[in-house]
Amino acid sequence: MIDRDTRRRRWLPAVLLPTLALFLVSCSNDNGQNSLAPKGKSAHTINNLFGPVFWVAAVIGVAVLTATVAFAVVFRYRPGTNDSPKQTHGSTPLEIGWTILPALILAVVAVPTVKTIFDLAREPKGHVLDVTVTGKQWWWQVEYPDAHVVTASELHIPVGRPVRIDLRSPDVVHSFWIPELAGKQDVIPGRTQKLVLRTDRPGTYLGQCAEFCGLSHANMRMRVIAQTPADFDVWLRGQQQGPVQRYEGSEVARLTGEKYQCINCHTFDKSSQAVYGPNLTHVGSRTTFAGGSQELNRQNLTKWVMDAPSLVPMQSKDCRKGPAPAYTCVGMPSFTKNTPPDQPVMTRADADQIVSYLLGER
């Protein structure tokens, strides 16, 4: 026999834990990633489907749960009345009913669902902006092919204009998700996935890689900065300005005596962009860095340049000297601890010079 206290001790966590979970998830009501507060065309389309389907599912869920609990209580074992209930086998009307009713409900739900799928897959019309976004471990490369602009982890878009995104990955599966603007889209190596973004409201929209992609998956963020067409044009023209120097001419290489590799702060021309890391030519114009996980300021950037894995976990301990690229690190190595083979420990003076150069303060 289980005494009353033991029974209460068993029930308590079962009731308290779900209540606590519900309470905790409601703590953050303004995290900028609420797909139920759509601010883009695709997100509205999805939300218009989610609403009615949620209520259909909620009614069915509550009915099934209530019936399950009610049957368990009404027909529970009672000491002293251990007779088996009357046994029955099969009921044609019931079986036809519970086959046809769910089929009808699913058929009704399928109509708006299929329409939404086709709406989201439709090619955008009008003055379309083409962008290529490449998911990497652990940041997003953003390319405007027509303007020859390459940047990272911050996608600027003009309001009122459809943006057609080609999504690619050279390494593992990522998932591109800006909850307030559009649904999730998996990014799969070897394929080009499509996604259309459009919003009429200027603002900053936050996103997050939504597919586990390794050690720093949680730090693989993204933000979409929607601007008026005039502001967007100014930004784009700014990004088109130099310097895009080759390795040989890198200013950082000159400043630090070519001591540190990865083409001396990712400075690249077209041929090397896929290999080393984000284009840092205009890093000073961004609000974040490190896959969008760190606020861009001098202090954070200095810490990052010296010992990046202390801010964001990365597999830099496994850096090995390989054929090409020179170091097969995943992510930024530490230049103060576990330095890559043959690399000197970075001095604070070198880091300061590099950061000043990156922020364009020289």
């103060």: which residue's tokens?
Answer: 336
Which DSSP state fits 219? G
Nearer to ligand CUA, 135 or 277 (CB): 135
CA distance readout (Å), 319 to 85, 194, 219, 278, 314: 69, 34, 20, 18, 11
- Around Cβ 305, how many Cβ atoms within 10 Å? 22
Range in contact with ligand CUA (rule: CB under 6 A) among 17-25, 86-94, 106-114, 213-221: 213-221
Q: Least distance in Å: CB of 153 to ligand CUA?
A: 11
Nearer to ligand CUA, 222 or 226 (CB): 222
Residues with Cβ within 8 Å of residue 254, at least 6 apart in sequence: none
User: Which residues in 112-141 contact ligand CUA (CB under 6 A)?
Assistant: 135, 138
Phi-psi region of 340 (alpha: psi -120 to 50; beta: other; left: phi over 0): beta
Question: CA–CA separation, 135 vs 59, rounded Å?
Answer: 39
> Residue 172 pairs with which residues in a beta bridge?
none
Nearer to ligand CUA, 161 or 217 (CB): 217
Using rule CB under 6 A, residue 168 touches ligand CUA? no
- Is residue 134 within 8 A of residue 169, CB to CB? The reply is yes
Compare residues 153 and 279 and give the one whose CB is closer to ligand CUA: 153
Please report how close the Cβ of residue 309 comes to ligand CUA at its closest, in angstroms: 17
* Count of CB atoms situated within 10 Å of the CB of 267: 23
Least Cβ distance, residue 175 to ligand CUA (angstroms): 7
Q: Closest CB to ligand CUA among 186 and 231?
A: 186
CB atoms within 10 A of CB 197: 25
CB of 141 to ligand CUA, least distance (A): 12
Closest approach, Cβ 212 to ligand CUA, in A, equals: 6
220 in contact with ligand CUA (CB under 6 A): yes
Kindly state the tokens that stand for 154. 């911050």
Q: Which is nearer to ligand CUA, 143 or 211 (CB)?
A: 211
Is 174 one of the binding residues for ligand CUA (CB under 6 A)?
yes
* CB of 184 vs ligand CUA, minimal distance in Å: 11
Cα dihedral 212, 214, 215, 221 sign: negative
Query: Interface with ligand CUA by CB under 6 A: which range of 40-48, 93-101, 207-215, 249-257?
Result: 207-215
- The stretch among 13-21, 65-73, 204-212, 266-274 that binds ligand CUA (CB under 6 A) is 204-212
CA distance 196 to 222: 16
The reply on whether position 213 binds ligand CUA by CB under 6 A is yes
How many amino acids of this chain bind ligand CUA (CB under 6 A)?
Answer: 9
